[in-house]
């Protein structure tokens, strides 16, 4: 079914030598909590590596962070020798963006391996430039027969489980890199700003988990500097830097980029916080997110922009990235007979319906940072996601999802598949109106994966409003099971160029494929 062997190409390994050389120079603990100094000797360096994001048929977004003020310059080429390279003059990196920056590279050939390298130049003397840091990505195919294969997961450095040198760091990234996907869809909880790390944690069996620690990760993030430090933390791991240099990302956010279960207008009662206004925290978090994650709709300057977007990946695939945080109503028991804001807000819902109707891709992946039919609670009475545990007619946030599902059916929009995370286990749910209280929709699948580097949790209950049937489940039996005790989970989607079939594989670290489902193209529901 796969359109290419699931292993790295030799030339990809070769082009990453520059990136890995820069990575090796980073002393993890000392570099973690220290901002770039403004009076450094030598030449600008990029020890946090490079990454690319939101790659399409003819474009991509290249990211870097400098250790001091520098001019960012990107070169792209069809070969790792960089013969006939194109040059892209990027921004001046400074304290306003925490010395990070992105450069959009456009006019690229479709369906091709693109080699890129980033050079950082002294802004006062361009002749003083650092060693180039290299990366690579594949542009989306221009022709259907090339096929597409990508991975997805979420939940990174959560519940107190950070970079553990005894395990080789964030080891799931290396396993994903070896599968050589076209891109990685990160479904949110890219950091845990509300999850400090301790140097050691004693496990139930007496073993000791050791964390690489930094100043910013020693407390909950409140200041912009602390949010930046939380986003910087995973980049201390060699596995992450190597993965980023080889695999482009499509990234969304969820709650832990700010604080657990947050919603607009919330005032915290958590004693760990001196800043209680969640809107203030969210603004700082989004600023740091825009600086450290290459997102085409979010300027790294932090001025405006949005997380929700469509990333068009050739004739076979459109990825609809949702934002279920910024526009939601307050968490509540979820029994309202009407809900204007719901979980998407009216403007994002209208955008999603419009873009789904416009899409001509064979498959329309809806990247949802929260599941639809799993009951995710916020405390004893409130609901954090969509489903509220009442299996009857839609209420609360379910009303907005019902409206969307009805629209998909009546407009006969084919090939919709929901990919999600958040609950820290992996499962597959099939939704069918024959089992549902609300019946005006076409059947569809929802696949759950994660965590990638966080604690595992038992399965959530199902809500019968949209008729979910849990076809597969793999979850721990107790809460917050460490990555030392349980596999981490990620999913794989493989779209065959010849048949158009979409295959979903739910994977566990260690190489196991836990569940496989093949979906046929051109159907409204299946």
Enter the pTM of the model.
Answer: 0.93
The full DSSP string for 89-148 is: EEEEE-GGGTTEEEEEE-SPPTT-EEEEEEEEEETTEEEEE---EEEEEEPPPSSGGG-E
Q: What pLDDT does 300 receive?
A: 75
| Listed residue (519, 491, 518, 495) closest to 507, CA to CA | 491
Residue 19 has pLDDT above 90, yes or no: no
Does residue 151 contact residue 175 with C-beta atoms inside 8 Å?
A: no
Q: What pLDDT does 523 receive?
A: 82
Distance, CA of 514 to chain centre: 22
Residue 37 has pLDDT above 60, yes or no: no
Residue 13 has pLDDT above 70, yes or no: no
Q: What pLDDT does 144 receive?
A: 87
pLDDT cut 70: percent of the chain above it? 92
End-to-end CA distance of the chain: 19
Residue 521 has pLDDT above 80, yes or no: yes
Whole-number Å distance between alpha carbons of 90 and 73: 5
Q: Is the dihedral of CA 245, 247, 250, 256 positive or negative?
A: negative
Report pLDDT digits (tens) over 108-131.
Answer: 999 999 999 999 999 998 789 999
Give φ, ψ of 405 to 5 degrees: -65, -40
Distance, CA of 151 to chain centre: 10
Bigger pLDDT: 23 or 395? 395
Report pLDDT digits (tens) over 199-216.
Answer: 999 999 999 999 999 999
Residue 171 has pLDDT above 80, yes or no: yes
Whole-number Å distance between alpha carbons of 418 and 181: 19
Q: Tokens at residue 176, please?
A: 């994903």
Place 479 in a pLDDT band, splitting at 50, 70 and 90.
Answer: very high
pLDDT cut 90: percent of the chain above it? 88
Whole-number Å distance between alpha carbons of 198 and 194: 13
- Cis check: omega of the bond before 232, within 30 degrees of 0: no
Q: 371-398 burial string, b = 16+ CB within 10 Å, else e?
A: bbbbbbbbeeeebbbbbbbbbeebbbbb
Whole-number average pLDDT of the chain: 92
| Eight-state DSSP code of residue 172 | H
Q: What pLDDT does 304 receive?
A: 80
Residue 30 has pLDDT above 80, yes or no: no
For residue 423, what are the CA distances in angstroms to 130, 461, 515? 42, 11, 18
Q: What pLDDT does 25 receive?
A: 34
Average the pLDDT over 348-373 and give the result: 98
Residue 485 has pLDDT above 90, yes or no: yes
Q: What pLDDT does 39 receive?
A: 46
What angle do helix axes 398-410 and 346-358 make, rounded to 10 degrees?
A: 20
Average the pLDDT over 231-243 and give the result: 98
Q: What pLDDT does 307 receive?
A: 98
Residue 5 has pLDDT above 80, yes or no: no
Average the pLDDT over 181-208 and give the result: 98
The full DSSP string for 163-227 is: --GGGTSSTHHHHHHHT--SEEEE-S--S-TT----SEEE-TTS-EEE----SGGGS---SHHHH
Q: What pLDDT does 339 receive?
A: 83
Report pLDDT digits (tens) over 402-417.
Answer: 999 999 999 999 999 9
Q: Is the dihedral of CA 71, 76, 79, 82 positive or negative?
A: negative
Bigger pLDDT: 339 or 147? 147
Distance, CA of 493 to chain centre: 15
Residue in the structure block whose two tokens are 């869809």: 185
Residue 53 has pLDDT above 70, yes or no: yes
Residue in the structure block whose two tokens are 């760990």: 272
Residue 29 has pLDDT above 90, yes or no: no
Q: What pLDDT does 145 receive?
A: 86
Which residues on adjacent β-strands are paired with residue 311?
319
Whole-number Å distance between alpha carbons of 526 and 519: 8
Average the pLDDT over 287-314 and give the result: 92
Residues, the chain: 526
Place 34 in a pLDDT band, splitting at 50, 70 and 90.
Answer: very low
Residue 432 has pLDDT above 80, yes or no: yes
Residue 272 has pLDDT above 50, yes or no: yes
Place 302 in a pLDDT band, splitting at 50, 70 and 90.
Answer: low
Report pLDDT digits (tens) over 375-386.
Answer: 999 999 999 999
Q: Is 406 helix (H, G, I), strand (E, B) or coil?
A: helix
Whole-number Å distance between alpha carbons of 526 and 264: 36
| Eight-state DSSP code of residue 433 | G
Whole-number Å distance between alpha carbons of 203 and 85: 52
Report pLDDT digits (tens) over 244-253.
Answer: 999 999 999 9
Distance, CA of 473 to chain centre: 22
Whole-number Å distance between alpha carbons of 36 and 228: 12
Q: What pLDDT does 407 receive?
A: 98
Average the pLDDT over 429-448 and give the result: 98
Residue 1 has pLDDT above 90, yes or no: no
Residue 470 has pLDDT above 80, yes or no: yes
Does residue 329 contact residue 263 with C-beta atoms inside 8 Å?
A: yes
| Listed residue (4, 82, 100) closest to 46, CA to CA | 100
Bigger pLDDT: 21 or 205? 205
| Eight-state DSSP code of residue 477 | S
Average the pLDDT over 8-20 and give the result: 37
Place 334 in a pLDDT band, splitting at 50, 70 and 90.
Answer: very high
Does residue 406 contact residue 459 with C-beta atoms inside 8 Å?
A: no
H or E, element range at 398:
helix 398-410
């Amino acid at each position: 079914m796969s359109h290419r062997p699931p292993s790295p190409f030799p030339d990809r390994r070769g082009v990453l030598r520059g990136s890995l050389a820069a990575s090796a120079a980073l002393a993890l603990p000392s570099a973690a909590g220290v901002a770039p100094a403004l009076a450094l000797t030598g030449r600008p360096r990029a020890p946090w590596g490079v990454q690319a994001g939101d790659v399409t048929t003819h474009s991509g977004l290249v990211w870097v962070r400098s250790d001091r003020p520098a001019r960012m310059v990107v070169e792209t080429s069809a070969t790792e020798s960089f013969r006939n390279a194109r040059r892209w003059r990027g921004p001046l990196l400074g304290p306003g963006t925490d010395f990070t920056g992105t450069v959009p590279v456009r006019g690229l050939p479709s369906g091709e391996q693109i080699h890129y390298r980033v050079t950082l130049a002294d802004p006062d003397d361009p002749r003083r430039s650092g060693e180039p840091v290299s990366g690579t990505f594949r542009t989306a195919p221009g022709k259907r027969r090339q096929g597409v294969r990508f991975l997805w997961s979420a939940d990174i450095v959560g519940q107190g489980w950070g970079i553990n040198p005894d395990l080789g760091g964030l080891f799931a990234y290396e396993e994903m890199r070896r599968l050589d996907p076209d891109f990685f869809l990160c479904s949110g909880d890219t950091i845990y700003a509300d999850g400090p790390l301790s140097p050691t944690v004693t496990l139930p069996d007496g073993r000791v988990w050791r964390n690489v620690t930094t100043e910013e990760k020693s407390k909950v993030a409140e200041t912009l500097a602390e949010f930046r430090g939380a986003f910087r933390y995973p980049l201390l791991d060699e596995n992450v830097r190597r993965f980023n240099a080889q695999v482009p990302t499509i990234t969304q956010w969820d709650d832990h980029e700010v604080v657990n279960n947050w919603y607009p207008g919330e005032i915290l009662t958590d004693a760990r916080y001196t800043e209680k206004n969640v809107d203030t925290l969210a603004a700082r978090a989004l600023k740091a997110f825009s600086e450290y994650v290459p997102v085409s709709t979010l300027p790294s300057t932090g001025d405006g922009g949005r997380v929700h977007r469509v990333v068009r990946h050739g004739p076979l695939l459109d990825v609809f990235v949702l934002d279920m945080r910024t526009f939601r109503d307050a968490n509540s028991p979820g029994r309202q007979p009407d809900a204007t804001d719901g979980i998407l807000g009216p403007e994002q819902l209208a955008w999603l319906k419009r873009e789904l109707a416009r899409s001509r891709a064979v498959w329309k992946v809806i990247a949802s940072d929260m599941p639809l039919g799993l009951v995710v609670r916020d405390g004893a009475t409130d609901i954090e996601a969509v489903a509220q545990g009442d299996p009857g007619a839609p209420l609360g946030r379910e009303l907005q999802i019902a409206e969307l599902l009805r629209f998909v059916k009546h407009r006969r929009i084919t090939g919709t598949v929901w990919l999600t995370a958040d609950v820290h286990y992996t499962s597959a749910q099939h939704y069918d109106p024959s089992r549902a209280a609300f019946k005006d929709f076409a059947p569809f699948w929802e696949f759950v994966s994660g965590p990638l580097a966080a604690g595992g949790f038992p399965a959530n209950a199902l809500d019968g409003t949209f008729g979910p049937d849990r076809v597969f489940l793999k979850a721990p039996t107790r809460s917050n099971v460490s990555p030392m005790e349980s596999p981490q989970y990620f999913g794989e989607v493989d779209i065959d160029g010849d048949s158009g079939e979409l295959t979903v594989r739910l994977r566990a670290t260690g190489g196991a494929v836990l569940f496989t489902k093949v979906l046929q193209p051109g159907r409204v529901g299946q």
